[in-house]
Chain A
Amino acid sequence: MSAGKKATGGNDVKSRSARRAFLKGIAMAGAAAAATPAWGGRTFQDAMGDFFQKHYLRMSPDEVQAAIERIQRRAQDRFGVDINVKNTPAQAGVVFGYAINISKCKGYRDCVSACVKENNLGRDSQVQYIRVLEMDQGTMNLENGDHYYAPETVPQEGKFYLPVQCMQCDDPPCVKACPVNATWMEPDGIVVVDYDWCIGCRYCMTACPYWARHFNWSEPEIPAEEINLDTHYLGNRPRPKGVVEKCHFCVQRTREGRQPACMEACPTGARVFGNLLDPDSEIRYVLENKTVFRLKEDLGTEPKFWYYTDG
């Protein structure tokens, strides 16, 4: 559990908080031989608290609060920023669903960039929650899709674009796979990960048919000034290395009625998000009035993510 002092983008060193500077001052004044603080820069108490921290769903409100404070101190330590960690619960009577109009998606990848910024994704690691596939017209075979298209302008002639992200399956194979219940489906249908409980076995990545789960092969690097301070415990709070993460429909936004970042960023309005239980919602209109399809429906995972076309 080394709190990765080196791999945090380099900018954090400058922007230590006053609190830490003060503590450091005391340590120096104490003339202890503490050139580098033990426990990866944290107190012994925090290190123990992290190690013995319980599963999110098993914690009492007090314990959650203590955990949140530790997470905040950790972020302060890693990035020198004060993050807000919410634990907003799911709204009653809400199950989220998402639909994309692939006639409208032009492959700009604006959703990808917005997601990276919103969700504090490691900048130089591989993690991106959304993959946009450039597909040949006339086929839905994903193997023909180009993940790394980079023409001067999109859309290209003869292509259509298929953004793929976590489908928030209603029968999620990743949840079944996890040996320690570190990932589960919330009452609003979002499949979340407790980053402090995940052991990093990556079996969920193997189980996911949509390649939606991603692993922190190294400590995620984010420039301190680009960190999104508005975070959720089960969402975009900074992640350590060695754990799996995934799209969570921007739980930090959507539970407060806001749009997921990818939808907000989409310049063509191809994305429709809403409450599947509300018969008047836009998402329900799409499902009931458009010809929709889901990816790999035959696997029985019941994705809550649809695609539709104009017409």
Chain B
Amino acid sequence: MGALIAFVFDGLRAMCRGPRLYWWWLGLLLFLIALGAWSYLTQLQEGLVVTGMSDQVSWGLYIANFAFLVGIAAAAVLLVIPAYIFHREDVKDVVLVGEGMAVAAVVMAITFVVIDLGRPERLWHMIPYLGEFNWPMSLLAWDVIVLSGYLLLNLAIPFYVLFHRYRGREPHFGLYFTMVVIAMFWAISIHTVTAFLFSANASRPFWHTALLGPRFIASAFASGPALIIIILQIVRAVTSYPVKQTVIDLLALIMAVALQINLFFVGVELFTDFYNEGAHAASIHYLFLGLGESHSLRPWIWTALGMNIIAVIILSVHPLRKQIRLLNLACVLAFIGIWIEKGMGLVIPGFVPTPLGEVFEYQPTLIEITVSIAIWAFGALVFTLLAKAVIAIEMGHLRHSSGTAVPGEMIS
């Protein structure tokens, strides 16, 4: 018990130590969070009327980010599988960083849902027994379960491993291997359930397709590694933490395949909808071509498509992918491309036209944008702090030795 307290305490202390750049970074994040918090306060007072959402388009930027971030969270499994199932030592080194990212992504996803609520103070209505929980009927109830479960798993595994490292012991393989296997399936489930959240709606033909689940997984396995590749390079640059190039190569390969599959899925969707332009096709028509005078998503989706195509070319051509600059470009393009395609490009057209055929467009407001940026900043903050502690422990700078930790100089 004393060791546990010391572990938490030392971890927190590691988070509070760093060079000037670290503090500037934290300062920037806190500033963005404060800005968003202020915007959110306005939203709480006035209601969701401060957003661009309407009865016609009743979900917007918030839920778009949510859908995207669940994918990022799920993608952590791409480090977990090679590390623990295929025993890739190089991947094992960074698997905790990936899990930190998963935690941050889930935290962001949950926050995006909470700030989207009209009555956040009634969240306790969801707690089983205390409130009412419409499980198993409501897909949103499923999502609450899988997301909070995934959060717990991704906190528990690193915690367990790190706590043992901290005390200089080896983690019990059978125990954490079980947890890892559960986490693997859980990762797939969070994104499948999130896809089902949309595809369950027979009222929205654009989402009501069996392909949505696979498409979500494919795009997640492209956008997730894109972010991990960039994060790992940043970790490598600002710390002395060993990030082997082989890990990045592996992730780039996974990303290439996932992005190819994702583009294939998009093509399949386009064919099915456009070959017979029934009611099913109205939303996709709106997205890619516009309906009448309304076409605000058109430039976005073509940009996204272009970005994804460039990214897939870079990633698929061996010599191009090997160049770290081009790889980074591909990562950035794929990340943004999928953010558009799966966020705004997926959520908004589901509402346009409405089930009664009305075409009403959605434009996020400044408040929505500031709040969204703040949540991303919050996620970055969570990840930074977790990574800071994780790296300190993994590098062996933090060890439980008669109550005091060795002050680390892990920051290069």
Q: Chain A residues in contact with chain B, CB under 8 A?
A: 1-2, 51, 55, 58, 126-127, 131, 133, 141-145, 147, 164, 173, 176-182, 197-203, 205-211, 214-219, 241-244, 296, 299-300
* A142-B357, A179-B140, A208-B203 known; A55+B131 contact, CB < 8 A: yes
Contact with A along B109-123 (1 / 0, CB 8 A): 000010011111111
A-B residue pairs in contact (CB < 8 Å), sample of 22: A141-B279, A145-B356, A145-B357, A164-B356, A173-B202, A178-B134, A179-B134, A179-B138, A182-B125, A203-B139, A208-B203, A208-B355, A211-B354, A215-B48, A217-B51, A218-B47, A219-B47, A241-B47, A241-B49, A243-B118, A243-B119, A244-B118
Count of inter-chain pairs, beta carbons less than 8 A: 153
Is the pair A211, B118 in contact by a Cβ cutoff of 8 Å? no
**CB-CB nearest in chain B for A148:** B358
Is the pair A51, B203 in contact by a Cβ cutoff of 8 Å? no
Is the pair A217, B356 in contact by a Cβ cutoff of 8 Å? no
Is the pair A200, B55 in contact by a Cβ cutoff of 8 Å? no
**Which residues on the B side are within 8 Å of A143 (C-beta)?**
279, 282, 353, 357
Is the pair A197, B132 in contact by a Cβ cutoff of 8 Å? yes
Task: Supply 4 further A-B pairs (C-beta < 8 A) apart from A176-B138, A198-B119, A217-B54.
Answer: A142-B356, A199-B117, A218-B46, A242-B119
Is the pair B48, A242 in contact by a Cβ cutoff of 8 Å? yes
Q: In the complex, which residues 128-150 of chain B have their Cβ closer than 8 Å to any Cβ of chain A?
A: 131-134, 137-141, 144
Interface centre among A51, A176, A207 (most CB of B within 10 A): A207
**CB-CB nearest in chain B for A202:** B58
Is the pair A206, B125 in contact by a Cβ cutoff of 8 Å? no
Partner of B125, one of A142, A144, A199, A211: A199
**Which residues on the A side are within 8 Å of B204 (C-beta)?**
206
Q: In the complex, which residues 332-361 of chain B have their Cβ closer than 8 Å to any Cβ of chain A?
A: 350-351, 353-358
**Which residues on the B side are within 8 Å of A141 (C-beta)?**
279, 357
A195 to B178, CA, bound (A): 44
Q: In the complex, which residues 307-341 of chain B have their Cβ closer than 8 Å to any Cβ of chain A?
A: none
Is the pair A242, B118 in contact by a Cβ cutoff of 8 Å? yes
A145 to B138, CA, bound (A): 32
Whether B8 sits at the interface, judged by CB under 8 Å, is: no
User: How many interface residues does B have (CB within 8 Å)?
Assistant: 50
**Which residues on the A side are within 8 Å of B55 (C-beta)?**
126-127, 205, 211, 214-215
A180 to B131, CA, bound (A): 8
**Which residues on the B side are within 8 Å of A200 (C-beta)?**
48, 117-119, 122
A100 to chain B, nearest CB (A): 15
**Which residues on the B side are within 8 Å of A243 (C-beta)?**
118-119
A128 to chain B, nearest CB (A): 9
Q: In the complex, which residues 81-140 of chain B have their Cβ closer than 8 Å to any Cβ of chain A?
A: 113, 116-123, 125-126, 131-134, 137-140
B115 to chain A, nearest CB (A): 11
B16 to chain A, nearest CB (A): 36
Is the pair A216, B47 in contact by a Cβ cutoff of 8 Å? yes
Partner of B48, one of A1, A126, A211, A217: A217
A296 to B46, CA, bound (A): 36
Is the pair B355, A199 in contact by a Cβ cutoff of 8 Å? no
Is the pair B357, A206 in contact by a Cβ cutoff of 8 Å? no
Is the pair A205, B58 in contact by a Cβ cutoff of 8 Å? yes
Interface centre among B133, B201, B279 (most CB of A within 10 A): B201
A211 to B354, CA, bound (A): 7
Is the pair B202, A299 in contact by a Cβ cutoff of 8 Å? yes
A203 to chain B, nearest CB (A): 5
Is the pair A179, B126 in contact by a Cβ cutoff of 8 Å? yes
A10 to chain B, nearest CB (A): 16
**Which residues on the A side are within 8 Å of B113 (C-beta)?**
201
* A143-B279, A181-B132, A211-B55 known; A51+B121 contact, CB < 8 A: yes
A296 to B56, CA, bound (A): 18
* A177-B140, A218-B47, A218-B49 known; A202+B133 contact, CB < 8 A: no
B111 to chain A, nearest CB (A): 14
**Which residues on the B side are within 8 Å of A215 (C-beta)?**
48, 55, 58, 118
Whether B45 sits at the interface, judged by CB under 8 Å, is: yes
A1 to B119, CA, bound (A): 8
A199 to B132, CA, bound (A): 11
* A209-B202, A218-B47 known; A181+B134 contact, CB < 8 A: yes
**CB-CB nearest in chain B for A206:** B201
A200 to B202, CA, bound (A): 21
Whether B59 sits at the interface, judged by CB under 8 Å, is: yes
Which are the 10 A-B pairs with shortest beta-carbon distances? Answer: A200-B118, A242-B118, A209-B203, A143-B357, A142-B357, A218-B49, A179-B140, A217-B49, A181-B132, A241-B47
B157 to chain A, nearest CB (A): 27
Is the pair B355, A209 in contact by a Cβ cutoff of 8 Å? yes
**Which residues on the B side are within 8 Å of A2 (C-beta)?**
44-45
Whether B53 sits at the interface, judged by CB under 8 Å, is: yes
**Which residues on the A side are within 8 Å of B54 (C-beta)?**
126, 217
**CB-CB nearest in chain A for B202:** A299
**Which residues on the A side are within 8 Å of B134 (C-beta)?**
176, 178-181
**Which residues on the B side are within 8 Å of A199 (C-beta)?**
117-120, 122-123, 125-126
**Which residues on the A side are within 8 Å of B201 (C-beta)?**
173, 177, 206-207
Is the pair B125, A177 in contact by a Cβ cutoff of 8 Å? no
A140 to chain B, nearest CB (A): 11
